Structure 1
Amino acid sequence: MDYVKEPKMRPVFPKRAVVTGGMPYGNKELHFGHIGGVFVHADTFARFLRDRIGEENVIFVSGTDCYGSPILEGFRKAKEAGTFDGTIEDYVRKNHESQKDTLDKYEISLNLFGASALGRAGEIHNEVSKEVFEGLYEKGTLEKLSSPQFYDPKFKCLLNGRQVIGKCPIQGCQSEKAYADECDLGHQYMPTELIDPHSTLSGLTPELVDVTNWYYKLEDCIPMIQAYVDDLRANSNARKFMLTTIEEFLKPPYIYVQKKFVEDLDALRAKFPEHDVIDDNKNSYTFVFKNLDDRDAARKVLEGLSINYRTGKTLVPFRLSGNIEWGVPFPEKEGLKDLTFWVWPESLWAPISFTRAYLESKGADKDEWKKFWNDDDAMVYQFIGQDNISFYGIAQQAMWETLGLKKTFLVPNNHILFMNKKASSSGSIKPPMAKDLLEFYTAEQMRMHFLSLGLANKSVSFDPQVYLPEEERNGADPVLKDGNLLTNVFNKIIRTCFYTLQKDFDGKLPNVAVSEDVIAEAKDAILTYEQNMYDHQFHKITYVLDTLIRNMNKRLVNNMRVADAEGNTELKAQVLVDSFYGIRVATALLHPIAPSGCEKIREYLNVDKRIYNWEYIFSTLTDLMDDPSNHEFKFLEPRVDFFKLHECQLAAKEQ
């Protein structure tokens, strides 16, 4: 199905869906960025889809990215430091289990959290990897290229990607670290372009030796990707910053040279292959080439003249294979053997492997996954970080078209900063671990806060006061602001309604129709929420909930005060019926965000799971009761909270 805008109609959702979350590397625990930047958003949408189109029609998968140089390097350092004793598979399994435990603690409801190297999911991933290679090979989109790879002369070994550190050659890149052929902001380049490379093993400048690998001809896909971007821009609600990012890579090959390094422009241009020059910058010239070969010939000219330069973003051949031992085995073909898949391409199709593994565990047919990934009435939603747009938005979409697979719908988030700075496990500013945050906040508080940040629109800072010195803490903790809607306002509404019902109406809901204005307000909230969920504007969903619940509270408090003052039982009955309807609606809308608290509400309302089902979203609470006149709510004892404060918050409150 096409993901189209329907501004004057309710949004149309697919009949079946796969939701994926970004795959964390197998050399680390999960930090706040994994949870707050990707997984909470993916989980909220997956839970919503289950309520919207049926639990059996939604598969939510992710997994540990087990292979690649980051894992090898992490394992090597852990062994050297004596902090780990075991095999690399043991090392990955330990981190995988830690990641899964953290996801469980944050109530991330994955159908399968697999691992690309472990168990049945790993076996299936090997099979899928071979199938992908054969499919791309048969289409004639692969080529063997001999390209330079870094070699450490002291240790006499080829260096993997993370064992070489330098500066990114891409013009304007602000990355902290650049590795052999990619920087930590996702820019790809050839190893020969890396500026000032050093081996992490010896500290020496490594040598370059030619190594032959398989590459996907990504540079031939510019028209295909441009058409894809144009279609998304015209016919979808894809995030605009993603489309802009993709288009930055669709330019022809550029070289930027500062004017101060060019003594004679005409003489320099005479040495270059066919090109154009852009002179619209007072500091530098931009040389534009027709293809990568011409650009690389010009680079050799500049290097021969000892002229510094930077290259521009453009599509380069996408490497499929590598030479490190720890990886998915690569099929032997045309005399190339003993290779493994490069981690980035095989991680792109890992969600297919995990989908197949999950369906197999349920006894499904081997080709059942295609109904979720390739049918016209199905959709795959992939939640990713901003840095991964070039891989998922360009390389994956191009390979999927080559293989005859349906393109996925990407939901990228901007960076989630820490105290207004970019934090990463490999950077100078380390992020707080996700597990550690749960020593100060509940999972539902964290989920509400992360969704409210508005990462769809811009990078936003995560500023938990518990990480500030006491003297720098000023005012309320911003992390608690959004959760207070549940732990304070909504809790009070629910308790007031139950206690009043038990005290004045013998625990039975009065037989009164819900007020029309209350129904109208709820309907507007439901439809606005639905559209925002369709658009993946999660921060706007929190606004809808805030307005709905606070209006409900205002109406309850004001009208109950009047009813008590006047002894007006009819008004009190109406207020209760209206408020319980509001609780019913808010519970359905909150269910994807705060599932445990909502389940507790459902338990006390004593209704079945139709309360979450969008087939019944406009039904009243009595519509969900088998026998409204005799329906019994669960008795609510004093001081019961549906949405809990953290123990440390309770202790501080009692002081």
Structure 2
Amino acid sequence: MQEPKRYLITAALPYANGLKHIGHLAGAYLPADIYVRYLRAQKRDVVFVCGSDEHGTAIPIQAMKEGTTPQAIIDKYHEIIKQNFADLSISFDIYDRTSAPIHHETSQEFFTALQEAGELETRETEQYFDEQAATFLADRYIKGTCPNCGFDGAFGDQCEKCGTALSPDELINPVSTLSGSAPVKKKTTHWYLPLNRHEDFLRQWILEEHKDDWRANVLGQCKSWIDGGLQPRAVTRDLDWGIAVPLEEAKGKVLYVWFDAPIGYISATRTWAKQNDKDWKPYWYDKDTKLVHFIGKDNIVFHAIIFPVMLKLHGNILPDNVPSNEFLNLEGDKMSTSRNWKLDMQDFIDDFVKKENGGPQLVDALRYYLTQIAPETKDSEFTWKGFQDAVNSELVAIFGNFVNRTFVLMHKLTNGKVPPVHADILDDKDRELAAAIQAAKVKIEALLEGYKFREAQFELIDLARKGNRYMQEKEPWIKAKAGASAQPEIDNCLHYCLQLCANLAILSNPFLPNTSRKMLHQMKVVDRMLDWENAGSLKLLSVGYSLRAPELLFRKIEDMEIQQQIEKLKSNSQPAPEAPAAVPAEQPAPPAKATIQFDDFAKIELKVGTIVTAEKVEKADKLLKLSVDMGTETRTIVSGIALHFKPEDIIGQQVVVVANLAPRKMRGIESNGMILMAEDKEGKLHFVQPGTQINPGAGVS
């Protein structure tokens, strides 16, 4: 495939109505930043745009809560969010805002172009109207009783008790949140984007052209929407906060926020181009541009169905990919702003980054852990103990330990200089490490190109792990006792370790940018070494070059810090709204996953295994470490079943194992497989097992 001339990378515009939490960071902004930093290291023409979404009902609602104006709200939170991203090393080329005049102009031009081309249609509908406030009511300005669970504080778009998506017409006894009175129905005219006209295009473009390169969650959600039949969607609404509809007959109406917000990517690009004396149009009109939207799963429909239709009708390029993450939970529960069960970016910055013994190293610590648990294929969970373990057991004990030992030994055994290579005594271990360095570059590059950031970071830490193993096998500190005769072996070992350190600086740059630059400082080299083309080289540091004394790259996270955060989370949280006891809330059925072909299923190898040992994983309430007899081998499998089974009760239990699942580190333990489980309606797990005793290793088909 031909390399694109340029890249335009977007991350979902956050609402400027409050602080943003680490679930937002992990979902869209961190993966986008990793990808962009990689592209820059590849010397590609790339622009990374984002900005605050400052329209919609969320803004005036927050203004009412804080007793101020919508303008004051967006001015306040725009600056906070922008600074939060900068503090956490998210490297936007521009962080713009949709209240800017250029965005109003761009959005109105976009609407006008579609209207004049006959791509919009008008409809007269009845909507709720507050006669006391003399205004039509947006969904969030209406409250009533949820028809699903009976909660009497449900909003017109969603019940925050049971999570059911609603429309105002479904609410029982609706009232206006503005006046407290019952609203009436009143006729109004709005403009609609007829998505139903574009089903064939979307089916071909998404489900055929991108069936092999888009994530399953994106394809599955798009297929569900398309198969269910697309409906016209209003692009205007009756509000006094937003971008005015540029039509004489539409006075008092504004563009619906879902319509104007993604156009913010275009207006932000225009602002960036003006600031940098560039032409913005190739980034949105030239087919040699690769457009990638990084989003969370709640934005899939807007970025994979609705905005592409808008772009197509407007003559713009279409996104090449829409990498969407699932949700990040927190300490066993969903993050919730209303219940204050969350970890805001601002809180992490205040508690770790800005405090003594904090700074950039803890920014990278958070980036590392969020990438390690990235919800790329399913919801994942942030735990404070998990964060501590990732930092202490991997960043400190593996990555930082290797770099520090290398520099300490270099100063002690080779006078603080890069030693020469004695080619005549190179052995298999030297050659294996050299091959591992070169292979790591290829693996990480392929994974980053495929938006598999979690796996790419694993390869990075695994390379550092191989460096530790190599040094341990070579034992230069032991050989030094033999005197000058052992110096050539010591030289070779430390030369290769130093070249590995230089490679780690390059390969870690997308993930751990502050650490990478700290390593450059220790090696006394310039940023140019971070160019991706240098990765894999064994000649990055010149023989005889003096390097600085070692500095610790990371610090340990102490038990006290973790305990404080857990207590803070629990003490600040608010109880969930209670539904009336007489109306039990039913659990919504889990969404159906994307349809797969038989060839996809055939890739999975299922085997019967017998659990021979089981033990709790230290500092992990949910994990058991299992030894499973697979017939020809005994495997270690880490399984999140500790809350459901006692270790001693499952010895001898036969289970079905996904045998060809890629190994994964969990709490420092490499897990080689996954045990299949079933969950009953009470949430209790049960083993999926053969009906009779089967020999371990037997296949399941």
Same fold (TM over 0.5): yes
The number of equivalent residue pairs is 542
Contact kept? 1:420, 1:460, Cα under 8 Å: no
**Out of 157, 167, 171, which is 2:135 matched to?**
157
**Out of 404, 409, 412, which is 2:324 matched to?**
412
Please list every run of 5 or more consecutive structure 1 residues that lacks an aligned counterpart in the other structure.
5-11, 253-313, 465-476
Query: Which one-letter code corresponds to 2:330 in the other structure?
Result: F
Q: Tell me: CA distance 1:648–1:189, structure 2 relative to 1, closer, same or farther (3 Å).
A: closer
Question: Deviation per CA, 1:570-591, whole angstroms, max 9, x where unpaired?
Answer: 1111111111121112111110
Partners of 1:371 and 1:152 in 2: how far apart? 46
Query: Which one-letter code corresponds to 1:58 in the other structure?
Result: V
Aligned to 1:302: none
Partners of 2:494 and 2:221 in 1: how far apart? 51
**Out of 544, 548, 556, which is 2:471 matched to?**
556
Percentage of pairs with the same residue: 25
Q: Tell me: CA distance 1:131–1:332, structure 2 relative to 1, closer, same or farther (3 Å).
A: same
Does structure 1 residue 58 correspond to structure 2 residue 46? yes
Partners of 1:602 and 1:413 in 2: how far apart? 32
Higher helix share: 1
| 3-state SS of paired residue (2:64) | helix
Structural mapping, 1:38-117, within 5 Å: 38-54=28-44, 57-79=45-67, 84=68, 87-117=69-99
Partners of 2:525 and 2:250 in 1: how far apart? 63
Aligned to 2:457: 542
Aligned to 2:401: 492
Partners of 2:220 and 2:146 in 1: how far apart? 21
Partners of 1:92 and 1:449 in 2: how far apart? 30
Q: Tell me: CA distance 1:105–1:175, structure 2 relative to 1, closer, same or farther (3 Å).
A: farther
Query: Which one-letter code corresponds to 2:549 in the other structure?
Result: L
Aligned to 2:489: 571
Q: Tell me: CA distance 1:602–1:115, structure 2 relative to 1, closer, same or farther (3 Å).
A: same
Q: Tell me: CA distance 1:356–1:649, structure 2 relative to 1, closer, same or farther (3 Å).
A: farther
Does structure 1 residue 423 correspond to structure 2 residue 335? yes
Does structure 1 residue 461 correspond to structure 2 residue 381? yes
Q: Tell me: CA distance 1:547–1:180, structure 2 relative to 1, closer, same or farther (3 Å).
A: same
Question: Deviation per CA, 1:589-628, whole angstroms, max 9, x where unpaired?
Answer: 11011111110101111222232212222322x3x45xx3
| 3-state SS of paired residue (1:417) | strand
Partners of 1:213 and 1:651 in 2: how far apart? 52
Aligned to 2:25: 35
Point out which structure has higher relative CO (alpha carbons under 8 A, 6+ apart): 1
Q: Tell me: CA distance 1:165–1:529, structure 2 relative to 1, closer, same or farther (3 Å).
A: farther
**Out of 121, 127, 132, which is 2:110 matched to?**
132
Please list every run of 5 or more consecutive structure 2 residues that lacks an aligned counterpart in the other structure.
354-361, 564-701
Does structure 1 residue 631 correspond to structure 2 residue 545? yes
Partners of 1:139 and 1:548 in 2: how far apart? 56
Q: Tell me: CA distance 1:173–1:374, structure 2 relative to 1, closer, same or farther (3 Å).
A: farther
Partners of 2:389 and 2:152 in 1: how far apart? 33
Partners of 1:137 and 1:173 in 2: how far apart? 41
Question: Deviation per CA, 1:20-55, whole angstroms, max 9, x where unpaired?
Answer: 11211111012122212221111111111111234x
Query: Which one-letter code corresponds to 2:492 in the other structure?
Result: Q
Aligned to 2:298: 387
How far apart are residue 490 of structure 1 and its match? Answer: 2.0
| 3-state SS of paired residue (1:387) | helix
Q: Tell me: CA distance 1:565–1:412, structure 2 relative to 1, closer, same or farther (3 Å).
A: same
Does structure 1 residue 237 correspond to structure 2 residue 157? no
Partners of 1:76 and 1:143 in 2: how far apart? 34
**Out of 174, 179, 195, which is 1:218 matched to?**
195
Query: Which one-letter code corresponds to 2:186 in the other structure?
Result: V
Does structure 1 residue 338 correspond to structure 2 residue 249? no
Partners of 2:168 and 2:117 in 1: how far apart? 27
Contact kept? 2:192, 2:234, Cα under 8 Å: yes
Q: Tell me: CA distance 1:224–1:155, structure 2 relative to 1, closer, same or farther (3 Å).
A: same
Q: Tell me: CA distance 1:574–1:165, structure 2 relative to 1, closer, same or farther (3 Å).
A: farther
How far apart are residue 211 of structure 1 and its match? Answer: 1.3
Query: Which one-letter code corresponds to 2:373 in the other structure?
Result: L
Q: 105-114 or 437-446, which moves further after superposition?
A: 437-446
Partners of 1:636 and 1:389 in 2: how far apart? 49
Does structure 1 residue 373 correspond to structure 2 residue 350? no
Aligned to 1:591: 509
Q: 194-203 or 37-46, which moves further after superposition?
A: 194-203
Query: Which one-letter code corresponds to 1:75 in the other structure?
Result: A
Aligned to 1:509: 418
Does structure 1 residue 519 correspond to structure 2 residue 434? yes
How far apart are residue 226 of structure 1 and its match? Answer: 0.9
Q: Tell me: CA distance 1:511–1:374, structure 2 relative to 1, closer, same or farther (3 Å).
A: farther
Partners of 2:562 and 2:185 in 1: how far apart? 61
Contact kept? 1:249, 1:315, Cα under 8 Å: yes
How far apart are residue 377 of structure 1 and its match? Answer: 2.6
| 3-state SS of paired residue (1:407) | coil
| 3-state SS of paired residue (2:323) | strand
How far apart are residue 507 of structure 1 and its match? Answer: 2.1
How far apart are residue 204 of structure 1 and its match? Answer: 4.7
Question: Deviation per CA, 1:373-406, whole angstroms, max 9, x where unpaired?
Answer: 3323321211111111111111111111111211
Partners of 1:180 and 1:138 in 2: how far apart? 33
**Out of 349, 371, 376, which is 1:451 matched to?**
371
Aligned to 1:199: 176
Contact kept? 2:144, 2:152, Cα under 8 Å: no
Aligned to 1:355: 269
Partners of 2:301 and 2:143 in 1: how far apart? 21
Partners of 2:266 and 2:205 in 1: how far apart? 21
Aligned to 2:566: none
Q: 324-333 or 556-565, which moves further after superposition?
A: 556-565
Does structure 1 residue 483 correspond to structure 2 residue 471? no
Query: Which one-letter code corresponds to 1:416 in the other structure?
Result: L
How far apart are residue 190 of structure 1 and its match? Answer: 6.6
Contact kept? 1:327, 1:341, Cα under 8 Å: yes
Question: Deviation per CA, 1:251-307, whole angstroms, max 9, x where unpaired?
Answer: 34xxxxxxxxxxxxxxxxxxxxxxxxxxxxxxxxxxxxxxxxxxxxxxxxxxxxxxx
Aligned to 1:277: none
Query: Which one-letter code corresponds to 2:60 in the other structure?
Result: L
Partners of 1:154 and 1:430 in 2: how far apart? 36
| 3-state SS of paired residue (1:349) | helix
Aligned to 1:266: none
Partners of 1:575 and 1:358 in 2: how far apart? 48
Query: Which one-letter code corresponds to 1:456 in the other structure?
Result: E
Partners of 2:378 and 2:301 in 1: how far apart? 18
Query: Which one-letter code corresponds to 1:69 in the other structure?
Result: T
Contact kept? 2:413, 2:480, Cα under 8 Å: no
Partners of 1:183 and 1:192 in 2: how far apart? 13
Question: Deviation per CA, 1:384-436, whole angstroms, max 9, x where unpaired?
Answer: 111111111111111111112111121110011122322232x4463221221
How far apart are residue 187 of structure 1 and its match? Answer: 9.6
Partners of 1:534 and 1:39 in 2: how far apart? 17
Query: Which one-letter code corresponds to 1:106 in the other structure?
Result: L
Q: 337-346 or 488-497, which moves further after superposition?
A: 488-497
| 3-state SS of paired residue (1:107) | coil
Partners of 1:316 and 1:187 in 2: how far apart? 20
| 3-state SS of paired residue (2:322) | strand
| 3-state SS of paired residue (2:95) | strand
Contact kept? 1:130, 1:330, Cα under 8 Å: yes
Partners of 2:273 and 2:3 in 1: how far apart? 22
How far apart are residue 486 of structure 1 and its match? Answer: 2.2
Query: Which one-letter code corresponds to 1:636 in the other structure?
Result: A
Aligned to 1:529: 444
| 3-state SS of paired residue (1:329) | coil
Contact kept? 1:152, 1:159, Cα under 8 Å: yes
Q: Tell me: CA distance 1:130–1:155, structure 2 relative to 1, closer, same or farther (3 Å).
A: closer
